[in-house]
Amino acid sequence: MPVKNDPPAILVRDMTFSYNSEIVLEDVNFSVDERDYVTVVGPNGGGKTTLLKLILGLLKPDKGEIKVFGISPRQARPQIGYVPQQFHYDPKFPVRVIDVALMGCLKGWSGIGGYSGIDRKAAMDALDKMEMAPLSGRRFSQLSGGQRQRVLIARALASSPRLILLDEPTAHIDTVAQRELSEFLRKINKEVTVFVITHDYTFVSSFVKSVLCVNRRVMTHPTGEIPEGMEIELFGGDVCYVRHDHDIRRHGGGVARDE
């Protein structure tokens, strides 16, 4: 468990970032405690993915600061697991599930002699957490979209991170797989800080602790206390809701449930 005086998992102070003089994020302030579970929502182009890249240290803010576990994002990278929105691979290439999971151990790989026994155990343990260990020898291309996403999360977990960042993890999977993924992330959150960027306005269940609403500026809300009408301000129209117990799709004039 985190010690009371430990620094936050993520701390952002007075941060502004722009591309070619066009401000993307402005005067951003928030903190994420260790073992927190944060969902980041907002419109396309609102700055969600840019925020993630700043936390990873792939971009530097124009002003302000970002700390991850009290140090710079670049220094903290070995403590961060990352699940990208897209995983590019040749479906004809016979890469196996275990091979993908082992990619999470590359930071300790010298390139001589292959992966160590410790690496292989870490990869298998990560697959086991995602209930994918029985399929470790199967080709990655033979998996369903939801299964592939679980393997990619296992890849991120193989390095034993303290923080896992996920960029649109539900973008290419069906509703059933979304529910399963939600449960896996809940379990992971017992050991790891979870930071999820999503286009689904409420990829939010009872175990999600806070929501960051990002549209150039960032507003933080506890789960269940998002002001009425915030989705219209953020998205300007219809919004898709995904909840743990049932699906909701709110349209501009009402709400339709699929239970």
Alpha helices in the chain (DSSP H): 48-56, 73-76, 97-102, 117-129, 145-157, 175-188, 230-235
192 — phi, psi (to 5°)? -135, 145
What residue spans define the domains of the chain?
Answer: 10-258
CB atoms within 10 A of CB 167: 20
Buried b (16+ CB within 10 A) or exposed e, 220-255: eeebeebeeebbeebbeeebbbbbbeebbebeeeee
Confidence (pTM): 0.82
At residue 28, the pLDDT reads: 97
Per CATH, is 10-258 categorized as 3.40.50.720?
no
Rounded-to-integer distance, Cα 133 and Cα 68, Å: 31
Q: pLDDT means per 10 residues in the chain (259 residues)?
A: 76 96 95 94 90 96 97 96 85 90 75 79 97 96 94 96 94 86 92 89 64 90 58 46 40 37
Rounded-to-integer distance, Cα 241 and Cα 202, Å: 5
At residue 58, the pLDDT reads: 95
At residue 244, the pLDDT reads: 37
Give the rounded distance of the alpha carbon of 204 from its chain centre: 13
Rounded-to-integer distance, Cα 59 and Cα 54, Å: 5
